[in-house]
Amino acid sequence: MLITFEGLDYSGKSTQVQRLANRLMREGYQVLVVREPGGTPIGEGIRSLLLDKTLTAMTERAELFLFSASRAQLVEEVIRPALERGMVVLCDRFFDSTTAYQGWGRGLPTDAVETVNDLATGGLKPTLTILVDVPVEVLEVRARASGLGRDRMESNGRSFYDRVRSGYRELAHKESRFVVVDGNRSEADIEREIWERVRPRVEASKTLVRNEG
């Protein structure tokens, strides 16, 4: 089972990925957590390029193909083998990020982006996608409070993130695999809601591997 997490930067999705992983492991399931871009030696090299804020000349199409190249490697090297072993795979971002960020955010044709997504994943789609939704103003407050410098992707302006959020919400409206949760709440409240949505899916699966003992 592949469960992906999506959302704007500083939405809190990465925290919820780990919280769900911990909950699933306590329930006895074998879990693998991966992130995008990255997750493999090749992917981590690509990640460093994508987040390098000195690379201001990177074009929108180059960005699209770099994200997709990292994803293609991750799917074949890590995700598919884990799914074949019956593990629950939790992925911090997947192809919906590319549709939202490079399609809606950068303005690349979404039909072309979706074709590239399909090629990169070999047609693999998530069982469930958790969208941790926060308004852009919440992102800005959290970014300032973190005290961390912004990477190349995080340095985009307000209008960019407005478009990305609109893209995510449109995807969630069209795709039944999406679950949208309000990310402007306590981490514990968000975790409880996600678990309520995920638990029936994993309990209904007859193919997932549980840890012995």
Flag whether pLDDT at 194 surpasses 90.
Answer: yes
- Phi then psi for residue 177, to 5 deg, are -75, -10
Candidate from 29-43, 103-117, 156-170 with smallest mean pLDDT:
156-170
CA-closest candidate to residue 177, choices 125, 129, 117: 129
pLDDT in tens, 49-101: 998 889 989 999 999 999 999 999 999 999 999 999 999 999 999 999 999 99
pLDDT at residue 150, as a whole number:
59
**Domain ranges, ordered by start, for the chain:** 2-204
Flag whether pLDDT at 130 surpasses 90.
Answer: yes
- Phi then psi for residue 31, to 5 deg, are -125, 140
Q: What is the overall mean pLDDT for the chain?
A: 94
- Residue 196 amino acid letter: E
pLDDT at residue 213, as a whole number:
52
Q: Is 63 exposed, middle or buried (0-12, 13-18, 19+ CB in 10 A)?
A: buried
Q: Cβ(37)–Cβ(50) under 8 Å?
A: yes
H or E element in which residue 92 lies: strand 88-92
pLDDT in tens, 150-170: 555 556 788 999 999 999 999
Say how many CA atoms lie within 13 Å of 190 toward its Cβ.
Answer: 25
Flag whether pLDDT at 127 surpasses 80.
Answer: yes
Domain 2-204 CATH superfamily: P-loop containing nucleotide triphosphate hydrolases (3.40.50.300)
pLDDT at residue 135, as a whole number:
94
pLDDT at residue 153, as a whole number:
55
Flag whether pLDDT at 120 surpasses 80.
Answer: yes
